[in-house]
């Protein structure tokens, strides 16, 4: 039977053609290709022995509940452990402020579903996290992007966008930011801008969605207060925090949490009823054990030391192989897993990507990190996953590839 499936698909999904980054990754099967494209933490940092130990104990002692359904809003023990964990970051919440998610990506999906009708506007950076664009895109919003500065989002630019959209009667539902070591740029938002963003949120009464997967991975400089904390010190109730255990513990768990006002959290829990029901109990227990029985402070110290070295090596090699006359610039992040390179405007990095594969090196073309009107001359580069030897070699290959195009 011949079916015209396209005509049957929902308006929300029929024009969505799949995650652009995922498609590019399919081209990277050659084992000799060094990929700077992924966003994977290094398995060298994984707490494998701890996980094995805790897992065996839980399976021996608690299999009946591990194998059962559990609360949709999350395991009580994990919620309590997260509340304690956040206290160390000066965030004070109670159970009504948190829903456990099946990781950061679900946290973003719940946010999009909760707030967006087709045509509603989302304010975001140019560039911003591609996964957030995909998650929100499912509700067919209008993306209103503003170029990010070296010290984070252009808050005045956000204000102008909000003014224009409001005057056109387009509802602006939230402002999405990744203030700490943003994916893809590695840029962090200054404290002044965090405060200014809150001013803006209060002035227009628009919530801020603060996505914080990399907050614990600072290699240089001082920790900055989260926007959630700053809001708590002022009016409160204007920020929704999206967190994940992926970079704290390991992505395989697929566990995270959203925090925010009780009304928001209740509704997010209701949305979860319609898709995942509960996040896996076993995985939640492993995350509880991570916070309560593993030495997570030392673990994060070790992660920071490990990635700090890789970042330094990467930046030094970049300096060596991309002399100024090549016209290439790149960000110098103080943490996270990524940096953002800019090549001369005439070079299209999607075309360069296919060339780079021939040189056995890969990156993510910058164009996937824009909600609208993508810029074409950037690349996202990951430095956490390849070994140090591979990182140095990858920079050499990338430089060789680019020189052919200059």
Ligand X SMILES: Cc1ncc(COP(=O)(O)O)c(C=O)c1O
**Residue 74 in contact with ligand X, rule: CB under 6 A:** no
Residue with the shortest CB distance to ligand X: 104
What value, to the nearest 5°, has the Cα angle with vertex 11 and ends 10 and 15?
A: 105
- Count the Cβ atoms, other than its own, within 10 Å of residue 271: 18
Nearest residue (CB) to ligand X, 131 versus 152: 131
What residues contact residue 110 under an 8 Å CB cut-off, 6+ apart? 99, 101, 258, 268, 271, 272
- For position 39 contacting ligand X by CB under 6 A, the verdict is yes
Site for ligand X in 195-234 (CB under 6 A): 211, 213
Give the other-Cβ count within 10 Å of 129's Cβ.
25
Residue for token pair 């509940």: 65
CB of 341 within 8 A of CB of 378? Answer: yes
Is residue 153 close enough to count as binding ligand X by CB under 6 A? no
Contacting residue, 74, 112, 131, 157, with ligand X by CB under 6 A: 131
Residue of 45, 111, 183, 382 interacting with ligand X (CB under 6 A) = 183
Q: Does 256 bind ligand X (CB under 6 A)?
A: yes
β-strand pairing of 361-362 with 256-259: unpaired
Cα 333 to Cα 307: distance, rounded to the nearest angstrom = 12
Q: Is 371 in the site for ligand X (CB under 6 A)?
A: no
Which residue lies nearer to ligand X by CB, 201 or 244? 244
Question: Considering beta carbons, is residue 37 or 328 the nearer one to ligand X?
Answer: 37
Least Cα distance to 211 among 236, 235, 234, 188 occurs for 188
| Residue 105 contacts ligand X per CB under 6 A | yes
Q: Is 45 in the site for ligand X (CB under 6 A)?
A: no
CB of 24 to ligand X, least distance (A): 15
Binding mask 284-313 for ligand X (x = CB under 6 A): ------------------------------
Assess contact for 219 and 307: CB atoms under 8 A: yes
- 399 lies in the site for ligand X, by CB under 6 A: no
CB contact at 8 A, 384 and 40? yes
Which residues make up the interface to ligand X (CB under 6 A)?
A: 39, 103-105, 129, 131, 178, 183, 211, 213, 244, 246, 251, 256
């Amino acid at each position: 039977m011949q079916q015209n499936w396209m005509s049957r698909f929902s308006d929300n999904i029929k024009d969505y053609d799949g995650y652009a980054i995922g498609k590019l990754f399919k081209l990277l099967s050659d084992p000799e290709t060094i990929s700077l494209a992924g966003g994977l933490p290094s398995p060298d940092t994984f707490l494998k022995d701890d996980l094995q130990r805790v897992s065996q104990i839980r399976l021996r002692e608690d299999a009946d509940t591990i194998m059962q359904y559990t609360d949709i809003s999350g395991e009580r023990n994990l919620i309590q452990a997260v509340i304690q964990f956040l206290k160390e970051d000066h965030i004070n919440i109670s159970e009504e402020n948190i829903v456990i998610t099946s990781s950061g990506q679900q946290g973003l999906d719940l946010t999009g579903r909760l707030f967006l009708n087709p045509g509603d506007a989302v304010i975001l950076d140019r560039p911003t996290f591609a996964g957030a664009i995909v998650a929100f895109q499912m509700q067919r919003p209008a993306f209103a992007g503003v170029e990010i500065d070296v010290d984070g989002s252009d808050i005045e630019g956000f204000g102008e966008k909000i003014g224009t959209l409001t005057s056109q009667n387009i509802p602006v539902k939230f402002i999405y930011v990744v203030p700490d070591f943003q994916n893809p740029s590695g840029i962090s938002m200054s404290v002044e801008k965090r405060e200014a963003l809150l001013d803006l949120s209060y002035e227009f009464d628009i919530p801020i969605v603060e996505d914080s997967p990399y907050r614990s991975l600072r290699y240089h400089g001082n920790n900055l207060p989260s926007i959630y904390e700053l809001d708590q010190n002022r009016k409160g109730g204007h920020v929704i925090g999206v967190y994940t255990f992926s970079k704290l513990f390991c992505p395989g768990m697929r566990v995270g949490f959203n925090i925010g006002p009780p009304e928001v959290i209740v509704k997010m829990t209701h949305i979860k009823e319609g898709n995942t029901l509960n996040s896996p109990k076993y995985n939640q227990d492993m995350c509880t054990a991570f916070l309560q029985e593993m030495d997570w402070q030392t673990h994060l110290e070790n992660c920071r030391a490990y990635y700090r070295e890789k970042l330094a090596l990467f930046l030094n090699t970049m300096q060596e192989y991309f002399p100024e006359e090549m016209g290439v610039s790149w960000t110098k992040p103080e943490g996270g897993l990524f940096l953002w390179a800019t090549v001369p405007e005439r070079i299209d990095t999607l075309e360069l990507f296919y060339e780079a594969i021939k040189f056995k090196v890969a990156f993510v073309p910058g164009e996937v990190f824009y909600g609208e009107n993508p810029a074409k001359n950037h690349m996202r580069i990951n430095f956490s996953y390849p070994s140090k030897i591979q990182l140095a070699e990858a920079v050499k290959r990338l430089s060789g590839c680019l020189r052919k195009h200059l």
